[in-house]
Amino acid sequence: MKAKQLTWWILTTATFLGLLLPVMVKEGMFLDGVLYASVSRNLAIGVGSFWFPEFDKLGKAGLASFHEHPPLYFAMQSVFFRVFGDGYFVEKLFSLMAAVITGLGIILFWKRINKKRPEYLSYSWIPVLLWIIIPIVFYSYQHNLIEGTMSFFVLFAVYFPWKGLSDKRNINFHFILGGFFVFLASFTKGVPGLFPLAFPLLWWLVKRDISFLKMIRLSLIMLSIPVIIFGIMITVSQDAFTSLSWYVEKRLIGRIETSPTVTKRYHILIQWLIKMMPVFFITIVIVSIDRFKSFQKVKDQSYKEDMVIFFILGIAGVVPLMLTMIQKSFYFLGALPFFALAFALFLVPAISGWIEKLPGRINKLLFVVFVLALAGILFFTITEIGKPGKDADIIAEVHSTGGLVPANTMIEIPASMSKEWTLRTYFIRYYNITLDYSGNKHTYILLKKDSIPDEEGVRKISSELKLFQLYKRF
């Protein structure tokens, strides 16, 4: 690696770690991430099964088991709980691993597309940097969202077919591999993991170096793999059939019909524009300085075609989300590595020209600055380990209560507290304690601080709680 590239790799590493670690080493996460970790931990300790994972003893959405998503993600994360225990860092370590693998996938892809452009090979830090600075990217990995794992599956679902077509060798085999990763992506997140299936069509439309019939054949190969695997699973296993049927019928279709999260279909496009602002800003600054001169000097038509394919692939991971009124910005997380690669291809002619002309003394100064920044980030991260992060007050209440109530039990709560999802998920995550709002009587009762039990024979057993109050029936 050239000395100048090492400087910018240190900047990228510092940015990558700085946006992830200081938050990840703290206790607390976004609700969905805690929910997923709870299901995974339960699976690790024998609560639920692969096809029927469980959240708590009350079930979720009218089902005894958890079917908000297909089960692969929970099975993968449960391995980390089996290996590393159930400390708060376990799911964060898993999420960090997913981020690192996705970053390495972007590097691998960059080296693949620039195999015949040696002048750009060493600039693989550019797409990684553009990717990690997108707010929804680092937020998703900070908070253990499923889309983070799906991202590297969809990345490799395109990488292998691209490799086969660009090398013109073992094409069918590489499309089989691509189809397998589409299966993994869809078995992790469902429908959002299917958009790589658009790749053969996009290659044909842009490159025009394969026939229409060959494009159809390759598309069918890529599609057939997940169809065959899912078909085998639901044929040979009744549990697989039931589990996936519940996911599709009761959660996927059911939520689309009954649980919209937005009122306008174009909401997801607005969110994409907002989340991409850091990349747009960098692009505008560089273009304003360079005035397209460097990019216009690029005569390699395939280079521009690659950029177009990546950009349209990214669009393919965003626009179909408009078909449903259930839209959240992290749903298009899997599309963002392709946008990063597209914009990196657009910007690298200008960036590489500037870096090559950078005086040695300036590079040395930047090297020292970036190393010091990296060291500062690592030191700051160490000082943040174990500190309260998101939901600090609720986590403190959960730990105080969990020390007084046996694990794997149920605590009675009033129906008015049934929507206290953050509280409920932390109780499950740390102690596998279910907060029961069904009206059943239990030994322990948890009420909000200003509430008083309306029955005799109940005694307050803790005065340390600030938000809630724990009572016990005697």
Closest CA to 194 of 216, 161, 227: 227
pLDDT > 60? residue 185: yes
Measured distance CA(298)–CA(304) in Å, rounded:
8
Residue 249 lies in a domain: yes
What is the chain's mean pLDDT, rounded? Answer: 93
pTM above 0.85, yes or no: yes
What is the model's pLDDT at position 372?
97
What is the model's pLDDT at position 369?
96
Does 344 lie in the same domain as 204? yes
Q: Which of 260-269, 313-322, 423-432 has the lowest mean pLDDT?
A: 260-269
Task: Dump pLDDT digits (tens) for 324-334.
Answer: 888 888 899 99
Does 255 lie in the same domain as 163? yes
Domain's final residue, options 323, 348, 373: 348
pLDDT > 60? residue 262: yes
Cβ-contact 393, 34 below 8 angstroms: no
Residue 19 lies in a domain: no
Tokens standing for residue 299: 């005569």
pLDDT > 60? residue 140: yes
Domain's final residue, options 313, 328, 348: 348
pLDDT > 70? residue 425: yes
Task: Give the mean model confidence (pLDDT) for residues 160-169.
Answer: 95
Does 401 lie in the same domain as 340? no
Task: Give the mean model confidence (pLDDT) for residues 401-406.
Answer: 90
What is the model's pLDDT at position 462?
73
Cβ-contact 348, 290 below 8 angstroms: no
Does 296 lie in the same domain as 419? no
Residue 373 lies in a domain: no
Does 293 lie in the same domain as 223? yes
Measured distance CA(218)–CA(201) in Å, rounded:
9
pLDDT > 60? residue 70: yes
Q: What is the 3-state secondary structure (H, E, C) of the chain?
A: CCHHHHHHHHHHHHHHHHHHHHHHCCECCCHHHHHHHHHHHHHHCCCECCCCECCCCCCECCECCCCCCCCHHHHHHHHHHHHHCCCCCHHHHHHHHHHHHHHHHHHHHHHHHCCCCHHHHCCCHHHHHHHHCCHHHHHHHHCCCHHHHHHHHHHHHHHHHHHHHHHCCCHHHHHHHHHHHHHHHHHHHCHHHHHHHHHHHHHHHHHCCCCHHHHHHHHHHHHHHHHHHHHHHHHHCHHHHHHHHHHHHHHHHHHHHHCCCCCCCCHHHHHHHHHCHHHHHHHHHHHHHHCCHHHHCCCCHHHHHHHHHHHHHHHHCCHHHHHCCCCCHHHHHHHHHHHHHHHHHHHHHHHHHHHHCCCHHHHHHHHHHHHHHHHHHHHHHHHHCCCECCCHHHHHHHHHHHCCCCCCCEEECCHHHCCCHHHHHHHHHHHCCEEECCCCCCCEEEEECCCCCCCCCEEECCCCCCCEEEEEEC
Q: Which of 62-66, 170-174, 185-189, 279-283 has the lowest mean pLDDT?
A: 62-66
pLDDT > 60? residue 1: no
Residue 188 lies in a domain: yes
Residue 7 lies in a domain: no
Does 413 lie in the same domain as 270? no
Task: Dump pLDDT digits (tens) for 328-351.
Answer: 888 999 999 999 999 999 999 999
Q: Which of 7-16, 36-45, 464-473 has the lowest mean pLDDT?
A: 464-473
Does 91 lie in the same domain as 167? yes
Task: Give the mean model confidence (pLDDT) for residues 148-166.
Answer: 96
Measured distance CA(390)–CA(173) in Å, rounded:
46
Does 461 lie in the same domain as 343? no
Does 292 lie in the same domain as 216? yes
What is the model's pLDDT at position 455?
80
Residue 353 lies in a domain: no
Domain's final residue, options 316, 348, 380: 348
Q: How many structural domains comprise the chain?
A: 2
Measured distance CA(69)–CA(186) in Å, rounded:
10
Task: Dump pLDDT digits (tens) for 269-307.
Answer: 999 999 999 999 999 999 999 988 888 888 788 999 999
Distances from the Cα of 427 to the Cα of 25, 144, 459, angstroms: 20, 17, 21
What is the model's pLDDT at position 257?
65
The residue among 358 and 100 whose pLDDT is bigger is 100
Residue 407's domain comprises 392-473
Q: Which of 2-11, 35-44, 133-142, 418-427 has the lowest mean pLDDT?
A: 2-11
Does 233 lie in the same domain as 173? yes
Does 469 lie in the same domain as 342? no
Residue 334 lies in a domain: yes
Does 402 lie in the same domain as 333? no
Measured distance CA(341)–CA(130) in Å, rounded:
8
Residue 344 lies in a domain: yes
